[in-house]
């Protein structure tokens, strides 16, 4: 259990090999999401793994922005993971209302982080996409209108020698305080 190197090495991947992701590895990713913590153990998510090439390409196209040029790489990924937000249990909904916090959104982030960290541990690359045509993806995947899609995550093998993240992270003193703001 050596976590530090895993979080140091995980990065967003925007180029993928044509190699399919093994079913066993997909199962481990599902298990990582299943075990993610959530407010009141609500587990307010459904994970849809899209690996059918034709459907995956259509979903990938629905993540593109023709105006801003975002997410053109999504169709390269052999798998797209779509994280759908489900209705949380009543205790989580009540707590969210009383605290004026969207616990389900936090839960989605935690589940997505588990997915991405497990993928990195398995030698896979991921990239979380927040820009997508939700209506189009919901129609393609038959997601009920009453549900929201939280994120789409690309998944696959990065090419050999994929460059290490180029954008520097903030220094810890710029993002952490002790005892006071």
**For residues 113 and 14, what is the distance between their CA atoms, to the nearest angstrom?**
17
Domain-located, residue 67: yes
CATH code for the domain in which residue 40 is found? 3.40.109.10
Model confidence over 3-39: pLDDT tens digits? 999 998 899 999 999 999 999 999 999 999 999 999 8
Q: φ and ψ at 152, to 5 degrees? A: -120, 135
Model confidence over 45-82: pLDDT tens digits? 999 999 999 999 999 999 998 788 899 999 999 999 99
Domain-located, residue 103: yes
- 3-class DSSP state of 149: strand
pLDDT at 1: 66
Domain-located, residue 177: no
Domain-located, residue 76: yes
Length, in residues, of the chain: 181
Domain-located, residue 114: yes
**Residue 35: how many other CB atoms lie within 10 Å:** 11
Residue 180: enclosing H or E segment and its boundaries? Answer: none
Question: How many structural domains are present in the chain?
Answer: 1
Domain-located, residue 1: no
pTM: 0.92
Domain-located, residue 131: yes
**For residues 128 and 26, what is the distance between their CA atoms, to the nearest angstrom?**
17
**For residues 51 and 71, what is the distance between their CA atoms, to the nearest angstrom?**
18
Q: Domain span at residue 33?
A: 16-158
Model confidence over 113-162: pLDDT tens digits? 999 999 999 999 999 999 999 999 999 999 999 999 999 999 999 999 89
Domain-located, residue 42: yes
């Amino acid at each position: 259990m050596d976590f530090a190197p895993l979080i140091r090495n995980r990065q967003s991947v925007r180029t993928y090999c044509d190699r399919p992701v093994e079913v066993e590895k997909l199962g481990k990713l599902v298990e990582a999401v299943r075990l993610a913590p959530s407010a009141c153990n609500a587990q307010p998510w459904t994970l849809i793994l899209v690996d059918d090439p034709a459907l995956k390409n259509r979903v990938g196209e629905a993540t593109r922005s023709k105006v801003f040029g975002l997410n053109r790489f999504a169709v390269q990924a052999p798998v797209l993971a779509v994280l759908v937000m489900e209705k949380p249990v009543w205790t989580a909904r009540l707590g969210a209302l009383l605290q004026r916090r969207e616990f389900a959104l936090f839960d989605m982030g935690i589940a997505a982080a588990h997915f991405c960290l497990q993928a990195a541990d398995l030698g896979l690359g991921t990239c979380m996409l927040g820009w997508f045509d939700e209506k189009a993806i919901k129609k393609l995947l038959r997601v009920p209108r009453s549900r929201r899609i939280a994120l789409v995550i690309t998944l696959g093998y990065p090419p050999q020698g994929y460059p290490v993240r180029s954008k520097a992270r903030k220094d810890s003193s710029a993002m952490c305080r002790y005892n006071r703001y």
